[in-house]
Amino acid sequence: MCARSDQVQVFPRSHRSPNYRHIQQGHRGRPAMLSLPPALRQSLVYGMALATTKAISLLMAPIFTHFLEPADYGRLDILQTLADLLSIVIGFGLADTLYRFAGSTNDKDEQQTEAANVIGFSLIVGLLTLLSTQLAAPWISSHLPGDITIVQTRLILGTLAMSGISLILLSWLRMQEKAVLYVTGSLGRVVLQASGAAAFLMYGFGITGVLIAGLFAATVMCVGLLTWCLRTTGILFKASRYKTYLIYGGPLILTGMAGFILGSFDRWILADEIGPAAMAEYALAAKIALMTAFAIQPFDLWWLPNRFKILGQLDGKKKCARAVGIGVTVAVFSAVGIAIVGPAVIRLVTPETYHGAVVYVPWLAALAAIHAITTMVNLGAMSGRTTLRLFAIEGSAATLAVIGYFTLIPLYGGYGAIAATAVALTSRLVVTYWISQKCLYIPHQLSRLSGIVTIGIGIVVFLPSGDGIIAPALWAMLSGALVMVFAMMIKLMPNPLSVSR
């Protein structure tokens, strides 16, 4: 059920963010970093950690493509899409549930109690999921395309159980603005997993070695975060709250599964239609295009845990609209950059057998931006007591995508998958925006948002082709500058020069 705008009193109207005066009045003589809006300042903090994390991931791409044949790389991607699907079930919508209930109060004790109980519930869900998925591993393995072994299936399922619990703990760190701990946990896992995977690959363990490294890193991270949680927040098992969590988070499982169909299911159909070796090109393109989502993630790391707090502040709706304007600009900027630079990276760091992936990257980067923008404008649909409307939107879009996949992929392969996903994601964006505005009106500058998105689409459509490195880099800088200057001109982004005065 939608929440009426007059019912949303997450915080008392008298409450102001510690940064409110900074935004309204500015501070002469203060460093520019401290004078930036919270959306940009927090995004920059998380961005430094994410840049390191994604740089490590990018460095692993040539290692994977060197030691793995295209067919094996395709199988690894199939396992990753399985992880994408099951992580939705394991997560149980609890990250959003944590944001909704722990983030909807300014009482610190009440917030900590709610968080401790959500964490306890996540442990129960994680344990049950671990047991049930290990029992079901033979059946799951037999139904996966690409000849995946039972051992490989068990390893990825074990990793998922650990990661599902860690996700809630990391979300709580973000809500508390524990940036150092968040960065330590995230970077520690990535470094441990990457170094382990590289070592196993060099010693000839192939996909199985990569999965062992992933399970070990996920377990170390989970144990470390739980130790911190026990010492600070604690863990509660108050069963009377579970019904509330299920009502809010339950539909998000179905919503997430619909999102999986829109984001990963196409690779399963491609693997079945064209084989894992040919599908590896599309999978590599999707991995490079996913850097768009990684580039947007610093904003998401700030926005998602704090949107309900901002909404409850004085002029909260206007602040939310301004934050979304910044987020949409970041999404377009990121998509344009990856669309231009991504193909050059593939040519530079992968064997020639993978170079067919370059034709898919610009379109997949644009789709990643559309997906991210939808998440930014769904505040109205998320602000009620249930998320059933959001599930209805996601389910309809997923149904549209599946029809498109089975119709277009046999005819056009990867391009068919892109076309079907584009229709579904665009439809989802339009309907999500409309429904969210009906539920809770936010004064978005729709014409300005549409303008910046149109600029980004135009750059991707008319992208020049080339095999070099320097030309794409220059074109990326020029295109990125165009996006940012246009965003400042129409006041979607603050001008750093005027902000720091």
Q: Domain locations in the chain?
A: 10-15+31-66+276-501, 68-263
**pLDDT value at residue 27:** 44
Closest CA to 233 of 111, 126, 104: 111
DSSP 465: P
Q: How far is CA 191 from CA 39, 168, 197, 207, in A?
A: 28, 21, 10, 18
SS3 3: coil
How much is the pLDDT for 39? 52
Burial of 414 (0-12, 13-18, 19+ CB in 10 A): buried
* Residue 335, both tokens: 């998509």
Phi and psi angles of residue 31, each rounded to the nearest 5 degrees, phi first: -55, 145
pLDDT reported for residue 368: 93
- Cα 313 from chain centre: 26
d(CA 269, CA 255): 21
d(C-alpha 306, C-alpha 326), whole Å: 15
Decide: residue 499, CB within 10 A, 0-12 exposed, 13-18 middle, 19+ buried. Answer: middle
Radius of gyration of the chain (CA): 22
Please list the rounded mean pLDDT of every run of 10 residues in the chain (501 residues): 39 37 42 53 66 78 84 84 73 77 77 88 88 91 84 92 88 80 85 94 92 94 92 88 82 75 82 79 88 85 82 87 92 91 85 87 94 90 74 89 93 92 95 91 91 90 69 78 88 68 49
What's the pTM?
Answer: 0.67
Q: Tell me which residue of 90, 263, 249, 212 sits closest to 160, measured CA to CA.
A: 90
Backbone angles phi, psi at 493, to 5 degrees: -120, 140
Give the model's pLDDT for residue 16. Answer: 38
**Token couple for 98:** 């944590």
Distance (Å, whole) CA 177 – CA 11: 18
Q: What is the pLDDT, as a whole number, of residue 245?
A: 84
Q: Are 336 and 296 in contact (CB under 8 A)?
A: no
Tokens 């944001």 appear where?
A: 99
Q: Confirm if 372 and 331 have CB atoms less than 8 A apart.
A: yes
SS3 state of residue 244: helix
How far apart are the C-alpha atoms of 218 and 455, rounded to whole Å?
40
Lookup result for tokens 């076309």? 419
What would the two tokens of residue 82 be? 């399985």
Residues 6+ apart with CB under 8 A from 421: 262, 266, 367, 401, 404
Distance CA 114, CA 124 (A): 16
Centre a 10 Å sphere on the Cβ of residue 4 and count the other Cβ atoms it contains. 12
Place of tokens 């650990």: 162
Measuring CA to CA, which residue among 252, 233, 209, 232 is closest to residue 94?
A: 252
- Six token digits for residue 242: 């579970």
Give whole-number Cα distances, 138 to 132, 157, 205, in Å: 12, 12, 21
Listed in sequence order, the residues at least 6 apart from 208 whose beta carbon sits closer than 8 Å to its beta carbon are: 149, 151, 152, 155, 200
